[in-house]
Amino acid sequence: MQQHGEKAFWDWFQANDERLYNFERDQEHTFDLLQSELRKVDKNLTFEFGPIENGRREFIISADGIREAFPKVESLYAAAPALPRWKVVKYRPRREPMDIALGDVRVDCHAVVVDLEPRGDKMDLTMYLPGYSGRTQDMYKGVAFLFLDQALGEYDVETRVGYIELKARDEAPPRALPLAQLPTAFDKLLKPN
């Protein structure tokens, strides 16, 4: 049985379909309204929109990498009504990695390499990032998780990745793989649950 918060959210979403579908007309205000409605369901939920393709737009419901919010992502997704102009997606999906700028840190995705180490039903990762040092650890941690969400998708990062270590790019061993190759290697080494 769906909870009132989920029904209220989707009622609001349908009532604001035109504004959401064409969010570019007033992006900041529209995003503020949408985030406010999502927080009524769970304070950790967030969202992304995809581009319009064939008259439809993706609406991605995300737990923002917070595992405790996964049940709310699932229940909100399950409560979604049929929406002709929307494709509702749960969790940030895998995407082609893109460069990331976060605060004063900008990292070229092509300069990032990753070393993988299977450990039971999880995969430990060491990410080698240009410009990383112990002093810049906090900012680079955010960048690393954004790269992982892009490459592996939010669900796999939270459920199938174990330990994550960050190191400077010049410390990378020869076996480290470019970030773009991470999804294939990850899936090959760690069979799906």
Q: Quote the pLDDT of residue 137.
A: 80
pLDDT at position 103 = 83
> Tokens 């509702």 correspond to what residue?
88
pLDDT of the chain, 193 residues: tens digit per residue: 345 699 999 999 999 999 999 999 999 999 999 999 999 999 999 999 999 999 999 999 999 989 999 999 999 999 999 999 999 999 999 999 999 998 888 999 999 999 999 998 999 999 999 999 877 788 899 899 999 999 999 999 999 999 999 999 999 999 999 999 999 999 998 765 5
Pairwise CA distance, residues 153 & 149, whole Å:
4
Q: Do the beta carbons of residue 168 and residue 129 sit within 8 Å?
A: yes
pTM of the model: 0.82
User: 87 Cβ partners below 8 Å, 6+ apart?
Assistant: 50, 56, 57, 58, 59
How much is the pLDDT for 1?
39
| Helix runs in the chain, H state only | 4-15, 17-21, 27-41, 70-78, 137-152, 154-160, 182-189
Comparing CA positions, the residue from 75, 52, 63, 103 lying closest to residue 2 is 75
Query: What residues contact residue 29 under an 8 Å CB cut-off, 6+ apart?
Result: none
pLDDT of residue 2: 45
SS3 at position 73: helix
pLDDT of 133? 85
User: How many CA atoms lie less than 13 Å away from 117 in the CB half-sphere?
Assistant: 9
Q: What pLDDT score does 166 carry?
A: 96
